[in-house]
């Protein structure tokens, strides 16, 4: 049985090199990490219609909830006023928790999207992952460079998070 998406994503994100690859895709290439992880978690091709539907959902959550929370969290990393750490840092941690809960809510909604196509058995796990990442990356915005997508794919494969049910 396939692991649920949230459980898989948390384990995968903690894998060696995965967080760094995800953050690079997010910060350097403007990508949406939950959307990318969802695409590879499916372990099959993502057609254009499904990718567009998923990106629309992710964009709504990202623009309205996740990115504003991330902006606040990052802003609170440095002092607003001298000696404010005792109040600022606990608030930052609460906002971090809300940001994660918002990503979890997005992921729960992505999971229910139906994938109408099954993967071709002649594609290996790396090819399936790269095809899915390119597709969702492209509908999200400008397609992320293959090198950045390969870094994520390789880290997920190294940690046995692709083609593996997580149990």
Instruction: Give me 42's structure tokens.
Output: 């499916």
Please count the other Cβ atoms lying within 10 Å of the Cβ belonging to residue 85: 11
Domain boundaries, the chain: 5-110+125-158
Reported as a single tens digit per residue, the pLDDT across 88-127 is 999 999 999 999 999 999 999 999 997 766 655 566 888 9
Reported as a single tens digit per residue, the pLDDT across 16-67 is 999 999 999 999 999 999 999 999 998 878 889 999 999 999 999 999 999 9
Instruction: Give me 17's structure tokens.
Output: 């090199």
Among residues 32, 18, 14, 28, the alpha carbon closest in space to that of 102 is found at: 32
d(CA 49, CA 167): 31
Q: What is the pTM of this model?
A: 0.89
d(CA 34, CA 62): 10
């Amino acid at each position: 049985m396939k692991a649920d998406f949230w459980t898989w994503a948390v384990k995968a994100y903690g894998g060696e090199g995965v967080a760094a690859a995800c953050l690079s895709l997010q910060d350097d290439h403007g990508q949406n990490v939950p959307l990318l992880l969802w695409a590879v978690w499916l372990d099959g091709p993502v057609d254009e219609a499904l990718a567009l539907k998923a990106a629309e959902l992710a964009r709504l959550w990202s623009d309205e909830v996740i990115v504003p929370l991330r902006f606040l969290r990052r802003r609170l990393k440095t002092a607003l006023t001298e000696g404010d750490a005792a109040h600022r840092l606990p608030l930052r941690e609460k906002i971090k928790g809300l940001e994660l809960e918002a990503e979890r809510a997005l992921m729960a909604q992505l999971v229910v999207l139906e994938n109408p196509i099954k993967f071709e058995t002649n594609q290996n796990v790396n090819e399936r992952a790269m095809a899915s990442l390119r597709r969702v990356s492209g509908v999200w915005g400008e397609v992320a460079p293959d090198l950045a997508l390969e870094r994520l794919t390789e880290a997920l494969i190294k940690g046995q998070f692709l083609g593996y049910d997580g149990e």
